[in-house]
Chain A
Amino acid sequence: MSDHRTTPGTDQAPDLSAVENTVAPSSDTVRVERAASESAGTSRVAGLMGGAFGRNIGLVLALLVICVVGVATAGDRFASVDNMVTILRLASIFGVVSIGMTFVIIGGGIDLSVGAIVALSSVWATTFATQTMAEDTHWIVMVFVALAVGGACGLVNGVLIAYGNVVPFIMTLAMLASARGLAEIISERRTQIVRVEGFKDFWSADVVGVPLLVVIFALVALGGWVLLNRTTFGRRTLAVGGSPEAARLAGINVKRHTALLYVLVGLCCGLAALMFLARTSTGSSTHGSLLELDAIAAVVIGGTLLTGGRGTIAGTVIGVLVFSTLSNVFVLNNQDSSTQAVAKGLIIVVAVLFQQRLARRSTST
């Protein structure tokens, strides 16, 4: 302490000229030294390595273990290109919703209504009226309807949560009940067959051998990564989730941003509904039931903090793959869904415990 002690009269003020320089900088002042940008560059690489592998190492291991079990128990039936495509197709719908969920959770919220919004969007996009209009014009009408319904549900959630101060858990629980109820009313609990040929042709197509659904998942994941890591929107999401008060006092419009996060997940649900139409050729009020639990589980085992402020898209993608590979292995071994559910529960707990330990170690260093 003694070296910090100062006495009046001694001139220990720091170099003020440097301060003044930056107070009113002209746009083309001071090029920063090479060293600074280089060190930033190397640490960026280190950050990527640490981010994708370091933080999710446990999850990657879990995925490997599941694959080993798959090969051991089902052999070539598991380790085939066809089966890999099956797993990815299984993962795609739930993956798209999980990406949206990742944003909401990083932003400090939660959305329990995703499954119900998927159901409502799928039903609304396949009503007699919508499909007739689509046949008269273009199948893209169905896409607009599904996205509009999903986005609108998200907007209702977001506005009431952000501006009405309704707790996210309660608001989306209410949306869960009412959106699925509305889907049942509209469809009269009947399964609505997709009869627009243009829609079926386009959505069941392959892109260079890869099913369109898988391509969509990949694009959404990539888009989500860019949005989170490379845009002001992503940065603000991290800030709002990390400390809403600090974000507010830094001048961010926290309420508007929160509302937008729910719109984003709603749009993901609309897209997921379209993917359901493609996979099952039907719209139904039972689509996407319990999807919210799977999505939240994938996000959480992917290392996103439920309290907000921290999370990665890569983690969520791996989390999604863990669950879909697990179901695939169980199905190949003719195990019933009950044992699968138990295994899923175990994985969630183990993954979260493991990540907590990892997180503690990384903050202590």
Chain B
Amino acid sequence: MLLHLLNRAPSSSSVHQDVLRTMGEEDGLMLIEDGVFGAVSAQVQHFPGLEGRLFALREDLESRGLAGRCDSRVIIVDMDGFVALTEEVQRTVSWF
């Protein structure tokens, strides 16, 4: 299992499409930095079929004022959780 890290908003970059095409059925996707703009309800449709394995970093949501706007399908993870997650997966792949 891989954990993919995405730091671009789906509204400003098409890189999320490459991520989705590359993800295996078990792989997780972690939205960080500007990637968390994709976690709001109006944008989360860019990440279909990822229930239970779509994450967003709490610190990045909060700093952008998005903590209350994050869609319920997205699992919010804080920095500690993020670190724990990266330790559990075989490896991470950064997309930018």
- Say if A and B assemble together: no
